[in-house]
Amino acid sequence: MERLILLLIALFFGNLSASSQIILQEDFENGWPADFLLVNVDGLTPDDPDLVGLADSAWSVRYISQAGFNSTTAFSVSWYVNDAGPSDDWMILPAITVDNNTVLSWTGMAITSSGNFRDRYQVAISTAGTDIADFEENPLLFDVGSLGEEITPQDRSVNLSDAGYTGQTVHIAFRNFTAPYDPNLPVGPGNGGNELMIDNIRIEANVVGLATINPQDIQMQLSPNPATATTLVGFQLKEASEVTMTLADATGRIIRELSNEYRSSGFQEIEVDLSGLATGNYLIRLQTDQFLTSTRLQKI
């Protein structure tokens, strides 16, 4: 997609220094990657006539516009003719070798207008080949759970080194695994699915970690967002610290330093001037002595 998403360092992202190495990065802006393998285990036909082609391909590339998110993504469907299911569609990444402190990150979102029918997905790993049985030999890296993914973009990550795979060559797979709608159960999350998007897949090695944080402790917020001329960045500091705030473009390149100063504890605000910026998606990064985190900004 148009922007590069970095995750909260609470999930092991750290200082993006020159020592880190990007092993794999995919935003689907150039279509489907030739080295990504698709496996359609369920073989079911989507209920939406416009999506019947996914009965063969399992995943496709599709432009998504929801919850302020506008981008080309990997896309999967779980709502089938006659409410058949469950969905069982795999997107398998090419083999990579896990180095020290290697982090897999991605953005996920359930595509549904009602807030119900949210797709469930899992992230699996194989140390052998790309057969489904190879992935079943190892514990899941991630499972969003039976209620499904959120209906707003969720930046997620898994540390492959901490999972015990350092030095091994592995395949990673995203699996849409959503139970079908059951009319005997209440309507709501966990009863049936609709559509799922995955984007900004990134595997990075030698990531230097900072302290673990609770996102609620930071209370980082942008107002307004989307924004036209200026936006106000608010955040909470539990203790006094040096604060560096930067603005990055869609490629992750830092284009402006917004703040570099010592600040006392408590709630902080920094006004960001957006003049001279093209419309599009950006990333505001905040680093203190204790943590590094980031949030998306849309310029309109």
Residue 133 is predicted with a pLDDT of: 96
Q: Provide the pairing of β-strand 21-26 with 142-143.
A: unpaired
pLDDT in tens, 247-294: 887 656 678 888 888 898 888 889 999 998 998 888 888 887 766 777
Instruction: Please tell me what DSSP assigns to residue 132.
Output: H
pTM, full prediction: 0.65
Rg of the chain, C-alpha, whole Å: 20
Cis peptide leading into residue 226 (ω within 30°): yes
Residue 1 is predicted with a pLDDT of: 43
Residue corresponding to tokens 């830092």: 254
Q: For the chain, what is the mean pLDDT?
A: 82
3-class DSSP assignment, residue 9: helix
Spatial CA neighbour of 175 closest among 151, 150, 149: 149
pLDDT in tens, 106-142: 999 999 888 888 999 999 999 999 999 999 999 999 9
CB-side exposure of 237: number of CA atoms within 13 Å?
A: 19
Lowest mean pLDDT among 17-21, 203-207, 295-299: 17-21
Residue 251 is predicted with a pLDDT of: 57
What string of DSSP letters covers 18-48?
A: TT-EEEEEE--TTSS-TT-EEEESS-PPBSS
Which CATH number is associated with domain 215-299?
2.60.40.1930
Spatial CA neighbour of 20 closest among 99, 125, 107, 105: 99
pLDDT band at 296 (very low <50, low <70, confident <90, very high): confident
CB 77 within 8 A of CB 48: yes
In the chain, where does the domain assigned CATH 2.60.120.200 lie? 9-209
pLDDT at 95 over 50: yes
In the chain, where does the domain assigned CATH 2.60.40.1930 lie? 215-299
pLDDT at 178 over 60: yes
pLDDT at 211 over 80: no
Pairwise CA distance, residues 67 & 45, whole Å: 27
More confident residue, 182 or 107: 107
pLDDT at 167 over 50: yes
pLDDT in tens, 133-146: 999 999 999 998 88
CATH of 9-209, one of 3.40.50.2300, 2.60.120.200, 3.30.465.10, 2.30.40.10: 2.60.120.200
pLDDT in tens, 221-254: 888 888 999 999 988 888 888 888 888 876 566 7
3-class DSSP assignment, residue 68: coil
